[in-house]
Chains A and B, each alone.
Chain A
Amino acid sequence: MLRFLEILGTFAKNQIITLINFTKLFLDTLFWIFVAPFTRRRYLKRESIFYQMVFMGLRSVIIVFFVTFFTGFVLAMQAAYQLKQVGAVVYVASLVAVSLARELGPVLTALVVAGRVGAAITAEIGSMSVTEQLEALDTMAINPTRFLVVPRLIALFFMLPCLTIIGDFVGMFGGYLIGVLNLKINSAHYIHVTLKFLSLKDIYTGLSKSFVFAIIIAMVGCYQGLNTKGGAQGVGKATTLSVVTSFILIILADAVLTAIYYFSNI
């Protein structure tokens, strides 16, 4: 029993230390974004932010497209299967649109990006960490948080919502194909029902989530990368941990945010 408590205690202690260090890194990043540019000279590098935007945003479009298209496609079929029984097949349109905009679009896009971009961030910074490159930055008086974390956070903060918008529309298009080709709903009618039930509120609550998800993915990825130890194996471990942690935090944050929106009737 005592042994069990000991293990539990060590586990809790390690988690708290991680949480403190993570918060420190996040505050440090915020300092470099919001305070440092005004107190020091040009400390944000535009080119590295754009470079990250291209890598994180543009290069993720295809995979986001693929995932959300088939999600909308499948969602429409499953919804039709249910709605046929009550003879309300036309509501497939609104069901697909609203669930994508409010929930599936932001979450699925975030999960896909966590797998692709979050893993890449951790692997890159992690291998820099195990090959003395972070130490080299330090001795050149280049702060690794400013140089590595800040551009990635800013880039993802703006790119993930963009990807989410693309995902929303592509998913709706997937549903539209089923609705028009298989369920024989008139194309104009399908679009009409979609627009009637989809309010702007649905879109922006969804997008507001994806800003939070972007912060989670970028910060977890960078934190795990910066704390990588133990050679190639360590990089592998850190990358796995980064993706798993991001996934869990994304789902948790989604539950919390949805609850907030739901209970405050937004």
Chain B
Amino acid sequence: MENREVVISVRDLEKSLGGLRVLNGISFDIYKGETFVIMGGSGCGKTTLLRHLIGALKPDKGHIYYANKDITTLSSMEIDNFRKKFGMVFQSAALLDSLSVEENVALPLKEHTKLDENIMKIIVKMKLALVGLRGFENLMPSELSGGMKKRVGLARAIAMDPEIVFYDEPSSGLDPIVTAVIDDLILDLSKKLLITSIVVTHDMNSVFRIADRVAMLHKGKILEIGTREEIKNSSNPIVQQFIKGETEGPVDFFKKGEDYLTELVDQ
């Protein structure tokens, strides 16, 4: 495992947003072709971490290397060249409402390649077929269900044949069956197209279905990192509480106040 090629390596990432330390010294490597899951509770910094990985945010400290190139020091023009090599599936799918399904998937191709219109159409059809949406080319995003939108988003993300695909909460707001379908797609894509997948999620079923390796984020730090078995059998009580979804444990959900009564009455 350790001999595999590293695609992304993150070193000592630190970031404060609005005076709050969101990322507090994060380091990890992601290997080629694996499905790497970043999980953690709400507000633990996973979305912020993801936005750093796609170059949307710059860290206060630390580095992110893609193929030995530090993207934190690149200009926005150079980052754009990197972005052509990866795809991203957004939590809300983020399809452009003014364009049809076909135009949405074709958008990156239209903007970045000189392909012939007909070839583009064929590529779009192939990508849509890959996510199980044959014949949906002419619908508008508003006519699609949540799961379909997400699949179109996935088709758009892989339109340029990226090396890496990022998924931001791919299962949020979807029913269990559609979630399983999306999970299968993620697995399929990494197997068929050898895409490295980086998934941010807190859906435990998904995590144990798709992950090669898992990183558990807690309060801006990596609490534990390992294969899914290692995480499943982790001795860390926070990880166990998170996996099992228990209210009692080291992570307090409710604020412990001695003076709840005074807080209630005190205006």
Contacts and interface: CB of A to CB of B under 8 A. Distances in A.
**Do A and B belong to a common assembly?**
yes
B56 A132 contact: no
Interface stretch (A80-88, A139-147, A220-228): A139-147
Interface string B55-84: 010000000000000000000000011011
A140 B92 contact: no
B175 interface: no
B94 A131 contact: yes
Interface residues of A, number: 17
Interface string B80-113: 1101101010111011111000000001100110
Contacts of B114: 41
Contacts of B86: 139
Nearest to B90: A132
Interface residues of B, number: 22
A139 B92 contact: no
A52 B2 CA distance: 54
B102 to A, nearest CB: 15
Contacts of A141: 80-81, 83-84, 108, 111-112
Contacts of B97: 127-128, 133
A128 B112 contact: no
B144 to A, nearest CB: 14
Interface in A83-133: 124, 127-128, 131-133
A141 B156 CA distance: 13
B88 A139 contact: yes
Nearest to B76: A143
B185 interface: no
Contacts of A132: 90-92, 94
B94 A135 contact: yes
B96 A128 contact: yes
A217 to B, nearest CB: 20
Given A128-B96, A131-B94, A136 B88 contact: yes
Contacts of A136: 88, 90, 94-96
B181 interface: no
A133 B83 CA distance: 16
17 contacts: A41-B114, A131-B92, A132-B90, A132-B91, A132-B94, A133-B94, A135-B90, A136-B90, A136-B96, A138-B56, A138-B83, A139-B83, A140-B83, A141-B80, A141-B81, A141-B108, A141-B111
Interface of B: 54, 56, 80-81, 83-84, 86, 88, 90-92, 94-98, 107-108, 111-112, 114, 156
8 closest A-B pairs by beta carbon, nearest first, are A136-B94, A132-B94, A141-B83, A141-B80, A139-B88, A140-B108, A132-B90, A133-B94
